Amino acid sequence: MKKFSIVSMLSVFALPAIAAESNTQLPHGLQLGLGMSATSGLNMFVGYNNKNLNSFWAKRFGVRLDFATYSPIKNRFNKELNSAIGEDGYKVSDTIKLQDFELDGYHYGAIVDFYPFGDTWFFGGWRISAGYMRGELNASAAPWSERLDGNLVRFYLDDWMLFYNGGQMLARGKVDWKYSGPYLGTGFDLGIFAGFKMFVDAGVVVANKTPNVNLDVPLDGLMRIEDNNLVFVKDNEKAYNNFKTGYDAALASARNEVKDYKYYPMVKMGFMYRF
């Protein structure tokens, strides 16, 4: 995935000033946007929509090339996300809670916008959007755990109580979702001053693939209670077999939850400039 510098991102909003200083006439209707998306990170787009055209239909249509990535803000975003979730973790079901989330990903695509009300004052900012997107989401989280006396960390896997000896939680669940498909959504541009506007977009990608779910539970230091004794899983055949039964059940349950899920949500908001 390509890396983007802060300079290149800030240049999106520097262009209007540069054009004014140099008297360069950029195409009327050219639009540049920079915003945030909870499901894809920093969002950028370049597009065209000229509401001053005389044609009834031409003024109602616009096009955008859209791109988003977590890369420049990944560490800060994940820190704020985990801070919002708190020490109690995020409850997935009655028996499963997660903590220590990490998100990464990107998307890019082309969008056609239709403005039903054209340039009609306030209502002219509403649009219906359709297009095609391609992207990837990489997410991981650890089972919620608690530290016990000594060097033990306790957590649960499909109702099975497990421990890590060493004071660290090593288990993580992972979701990898490479998707592509048609995008359907709606949005609104709200004028602020001159050509600056605030925008909001909400829609979904009807994905061609479902998420791929995996569960990584290293055996080194992993322990469970067998016959009232705390034993290392990899050194005890009975403990290993019982662990494997719980592991397979937990993984099957997680995969079953997402096997039919093909809708990738996108919610974005930010600022744009239309020349």
Instruction: Indicate the DSSP class of residue 211.
Output: P
What pLDDT does 39 receive?
87
Cα–Cα separations (whole angstroms), residue 163 to 122, 144, 152, 180, 218? 59, 12, 6, 39, 11
With a cut of 70, which residues of the chain have pLDDT below it?
Answer: 1-26, 93-95
Q: Positive or negative CA dihedral for 134, 205, 273, 64?
A: positive
* CA–CA separation, 88 and 141 (whole Å): 14
Torsion, Cα of 137, 138, 144, 145 (10° steps)? -170
What pLDDT does 92 receive?
74
* CA–CA separation, 39 and 19 (whole Å): 33
- Beta partners for 35? 43, 270
Percentages helix, strand, coil for the chain (3-state, rounded to 5) are 25, 50, 25
Domains of the chain, first to last: 6-274 (2.40.160.170)
* CA–CA separation, 45 and 67 (whole Å): 6
Q: Count the Cβ atoms, other than its own, within 10 Å of residue 267.
A: 17
Which DSSP string corresponds to 100-166? EEEEEEEEEEEEEEE-TTTT-GGGGGEEEEEEEEEEEEEEEEEEPEEE-STTEEEEEETTEEEEEET
What pLDDT does 87 receive?
85
What pLDDT does 175 receive?
94
Structure confidence by residue, pLDDT tens digits, 207-264: 999 999 999 999 999 999 999 999 999 999 999 999 999 899 889 988 988 888 999 9
